[in-house]
């Protein structure tokens, strides 16, 4: 069975999309079959894949809810699934701005609203079709993200050492506990926290990072914080070219390729223990 991992943080601009995209290609480099899902109405991941579909995840989710039959559209997964070019297989279910209306759309249904994504993945047997399903979340802790959490086996949390305050981390752990307390699904495990855009020359950031690592160690055990990503011009360059770092073979990208392979290794370690 494949594993579902959400890249999550209620803040924007911390590197969720960047990390989800490159980690997916790192897993593909290791021969894994990977599906990515763009859950963000801003659809940045979809832009990176240059996928242009009329219909997107929102329509597939609505179509999967029988009670919403009157607003179903002629959209099918097989038509919407975007297959990657090249030899590394990373597929995508595109997102779109319609997802911002998800909460309202499902407000009146009787079926559990937090399990729509989980049910959709099950109906389409996607866990058996892929080794990994990577979900890129919007910067909220709203219903869409709760759907991602309820569907996921693990979470990866990119954060900035300066603005992911201890409070934000506590809040997130509390949400995981709330999900466990609902008693319907198991809460996802923390696979990794990834410090991003870190400036190690700034003492305040070093201090904040040390504090956050201590906090994570206490909350979920040691070894769950990855080595920091610094501000890398190479990442900006690759993303603006809509490419993963693995498409650049030069030395300039060597450390970035190694870092994302390192994340893929951590994911595999975690997944192997879990089987
Ligand atoms: N380590 C990094 N070095 C340089 N730029 C980065 C780095 N990580 C992310 N970025 C840039 O920061 C911006 C926000 O990243 P993004 O992945 O879109 O964050 P999120 O999905 O959390 O909103 C993007 O423009 C991205 O290119
Ligand atoms: Mg994003």
pLDDT in tens, 112-153: 999 999 999 999 999 999 999 999 999 999 999 999 999 999
Q: What is the pTM of this model?
A: 0.96
CA end-to-end span of the chain, whole Å? 8
CA atoms of 201 and 204, how far apart (whole Å)? 9
Asked if the model's pLDDT at residue 268 lies above 90, the reply is yes
pLDDT score at 85: 59
- Ligand 1: residue of 10, 18, 24, 200 to mutate (most ligand atoms within 8 A of CB) is 18
Q: Work out the pLDDT band at 86, boundaries 50, 70, 90.
A: low
Greatest CA separation found in the chain?
Answer: 58
Q: Which atom of ligand 1 is nearest to the CA of 158?
A: 22
* CATH number of the domain encompassing residue 245: 3.40.50.300
Computed over every residue of the chain, the mean pLDDT equals: 93
Domain tally, the chain: 1
Mean pLDDT in residue range 181-209: 92
44 compared with 51, residue with greater pLDDT: 44
Q: The domain containing residue 168 runs over which residues?
A: 3-274
26 pLDDT band (50/70/90 cuts)? very high
Strand bridging mode 3-7 / 90-93: unpaired
Ligand 1: which residue has its CA nearest to atom 2? 231
Q: Which residues are CB-neighbours of 241 under 8 A, at least 6 positions away?
A: none
């Amino acid at each position: 069975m494949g594993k579902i991992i959400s890249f999550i943080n209620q803040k924007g601009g911390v590197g969720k999309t960047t990390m989800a995209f490159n980690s997916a290609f790192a897993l593909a480099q290791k021969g894994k079959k990977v599906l990515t899902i763009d859950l963000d109405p801003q659809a940045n991941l979809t832009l990176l894949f240059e996928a242009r579909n009329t219909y997107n995840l929102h329509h597939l989710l609505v179509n999967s809810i029988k009670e919403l039959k009157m607003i179903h559209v002629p959209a099918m997964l097989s038509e919407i699934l975007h297959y990657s070019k090249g030899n590394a297989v990373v597929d995508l279910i595109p997102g779109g701005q319609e997802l911002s209306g998800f909460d309202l759309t499902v407000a009146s249904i009787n079926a559990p609203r937090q399990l729509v994504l989980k049910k959709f993945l099950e109906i389409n047997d996607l866990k058996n079709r892929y080794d990994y399903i990577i979900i890129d979340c919007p910067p909220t802790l709203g219903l869409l993200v709760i759907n991602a959490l309820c569907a996921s086996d693990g979470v990866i949390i990119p954060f900035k050492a300066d603005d992911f305050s201890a409070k934000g981390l506590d809040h997130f752990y509390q949400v995981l506990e709330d999900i466990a307390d609902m008693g319907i699904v198991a809460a996802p495990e923390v696979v990794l926290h990834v410090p991003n855009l870190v400036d190690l020359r700034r003492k305040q950031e070093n201090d904040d990072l040390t504090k956050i690592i201590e906090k994570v160690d206490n909350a979920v055990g040691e070894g769950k914080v990855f080595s920091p990503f610094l501000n890398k011009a190479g990442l900006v360059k690759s993303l603006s070219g809509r490419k993963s770092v693995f498409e650049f073979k030069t030395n300039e990208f060597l450390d970035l390729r190694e870092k994302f392979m390192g994340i893929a290794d951590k994911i595999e370690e975690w997944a192997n223990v879990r089987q």
